[in-house]
């Protein structure tokens, strides 16, 4: 069946990246409105969505017939998305998991469209995992140095949108109450205040002292950059809605001239050098901004730099749409 007649099925209407995904699909004309199918557990709970000036109805998962001619994009990791994955895979459809359902499952190939898209040609299972937003940004920033990496220490400051739509709504409500001199209710997901706060961890801690997302970040970076790179990660949650920032402390295998490192980063795919980038600079853009490059004070092989990006538009929506395009065109 031709690319023009195949269908894209999206599960996760109303999820945090959903609007950004629709926006990118429309901008790039990846599919036409009659090729787009939207699924929910109960269509009665979700209003029709506007795509390319057309109203697209939301259908019920239980009544939907999956087929091998479809690409199914999962934007959530809830029970509805898990059920859709099982049904779609059984029907022979391609599944793109951006909801983290297959995180840690090595049978689902982890694909970053800029770094290892060629692996799509060799997958044994038609389920593709998309890196989390933090892993996607950091992998892009480190990839020009991949052959030189010995170890990397990461401090990722994630926005509230990384926690999900309910936390975004909670942070907005807390902000409004605080501006009106009222005590805000705590966020149900984290049990903490999100507005005007900076969380050392938004999740329960494991025995190692890490949280699950930190270990997942390390695991995904090892899959993208190579298992021989030593990695450690800390994820804080900053009181901003969108835009992520990571500080990277990189130990190289040998001492390298700082200007050579700068040149490698400047020539990296979708990387843009800035003197002192901020997440505000990155929101709405399609590049990962890299800056504050400097030598470390601990070792002559150490370089430190900062990287920022739009976690929803660039690191989830654009990456998902690029993978969907490749699957519609090639498979």
Phi, psi dihedrals of residue 273, rounded to the nearest 5°: -80, 135
One domain for residues 175 and 301: yes
One domain for residues 127 and 139: no
Structural tokens at position 122: 């060799």
The predicted pLDDT at position 12 comes to: 94
Q: Which of 137, 151, 135 is nearest to 215 (CA)?
A: 135
One domain for residues 149 and 108: no
One domain for residues 45 and 173: no
The predicted pLDDT at position 133 comes to: 98
Q: Which of 122, 115, 64 is nearest to 93 (CA)?
A: 64
pLDDT band at 330 (very low <50, low <70, confident <90, very high): confident
pLDDT tens-digit profile of 59-118?
999 989 999 999 999 999 999 999 999 999 999 999 999 999 999 899 999 999 999 999
pLDDT tens-digit profile of 117-168?
999 999 999 999 999 999 999 999 999 999 999 999 999 999 999 999 999 9
pLDDT tens-digit profile of 153-167?
999 999 999 999 999
CATH code for the domain in which residue 140 is found: 3.30.360.10
How many structural domains does the chain have? 2
Instruction: Report the chain's C-alpha Rg in angstroms.
Output: 20
| CB contact burial 166-180 (16+ within 10 A = b; e otherwise) | ebbebbeebbeeeee
- In the predicted model, is pLDDT for residue 331 greater than 90? no
Q: Per DSSP, what are the bridge partners of residue 58?
A: 38
One domain for residues 74 and 94: yes
pLDDT tens-digit profile of 271-295?
999 999 999 999 999 999 999 999 9
One domain for residues 163 and 296: yes
- In the predicted model, is pLDDT for residue 3 greater than 60? no
CB 126 within 8 A of CB 89: yes
One domain for residues 277 and 243: yes
CATH code for the domain in which residue 106 is found: 3.40.50.720
Say how far apart CA 267 and CA 274 lie, in whole Å: 13
One domain for residues 93 and 180: no
Phi, psi dihedrals of residue 151, rounded to the nearest 5°: -155, 155
pLDDT tens-digit profile of 46-72?
899 999 999 999 999 998 999 999 999
Q: What is the average per-residue pLDDT within 233-249?
A: 97
Write out the H or E segment, with its range, that includes residue 61: none
One domain for residues 156 and 22: no
Q: Which domain holds residue 306?
A: 135-311
- In the predicted model, is pLDDT for residue 256 greater than 90? no
- In the predicted model, is pLDDT for residue 302 greater than 80? yes
Sign of the Cα torsion 182, 188, 191, 192 reads: negative
Q: Is the pTM of this model over 0.85?
A: yes
- In the predicted model, is pLDDT for residue 1 greater than 60? no
- Per-residue DSSP letter, 267: T
One domain for residues 112 and 201: no
The predicted pLDDT at position 89 comes to: 97
Q: Per DSSP, what are the bridge partners of residue 158?
A: 237
Exposed (0-12), middle (13-18) or buried (19+): which is 276, by Cβ within 10 Å? exposed
pLDDT tens-digit profile of 6-45?
999 999 999 999 999 999 999 999 999 999 999 998 876 7
pLDDT tens-digit profile of 184-226?
999 999 999 999 999 999 999 999 999 999 999 999 999 999 9
One domain for residues 70 and 82: yes
The predicted pLDDT at position 4 comes to: 56
One domain for residues 117 and 207: no
């Amino acid at each position: 069946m031709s690319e023009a007649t195949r269908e894209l099925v999206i599960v996760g209407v109303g999820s945090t990246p959903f609007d950004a995904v629709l926006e990118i699909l429309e901008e790039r004309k990846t599919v036409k409105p009659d090729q787009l199918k939207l699924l929910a557990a109960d269509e009665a709970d979700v209003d029709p969505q506007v795509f390319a000036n057309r109203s697209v109805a939301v259908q019920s998962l239980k009544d939907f017939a999956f087929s091998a001619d479809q690409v199914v994009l999962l934007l959530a990791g809830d029970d509805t998305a898990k059920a859709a994955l099982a049904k779609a895979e059984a029907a022979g459809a391609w599944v793109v998991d951006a909801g983290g359902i297959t995180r840690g499952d090595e049978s689902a190939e982890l694909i970053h469209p800029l770094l290892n898209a060629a692996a799509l040609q060799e997958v044994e299972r038609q389920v593709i995992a998309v890196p989390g937003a933090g892993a996607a940004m950091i992998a892009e920033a480190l990839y020009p140095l991949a052959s030189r990496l010995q170890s990397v220490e990461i401090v990722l400051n994630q926005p509230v949108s990384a926690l999900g739509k309910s936390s975004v709504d909670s942070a907005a409500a807390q902000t409004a109450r605080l501006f009106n001199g009222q005590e805000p209710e705590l966020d149900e997901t984290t049990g903490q205040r999100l507005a005007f706060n900076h969380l050392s961890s938004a999740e329960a801690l494991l025995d190692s002292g890490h949280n699950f997302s930190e270990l997942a970040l390390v695991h995904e970076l090892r899959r993208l950059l190579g298992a021989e790179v030593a990695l450690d990660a800390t994820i804080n949650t900053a009181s901003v809605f969108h835009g992520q920032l990571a500080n990277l402390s990189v130990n190289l295998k040998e001492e390298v001239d700082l200007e050579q490192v700068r040149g490698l980063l400047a020539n990296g795919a979708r990387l843009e050098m800035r003197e002192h980038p901020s997440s505000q600079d990155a929101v709405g853009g399609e590049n990962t901004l890299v800056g504050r490059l400097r030598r470390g004070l601990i070792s002559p092989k150490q370089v430190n730099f900062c990287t920022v990006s739009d976690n929803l538009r660039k690191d989830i929506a654009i990456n998902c749409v690029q993978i969907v395009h490749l699957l519609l065109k090639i498979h």
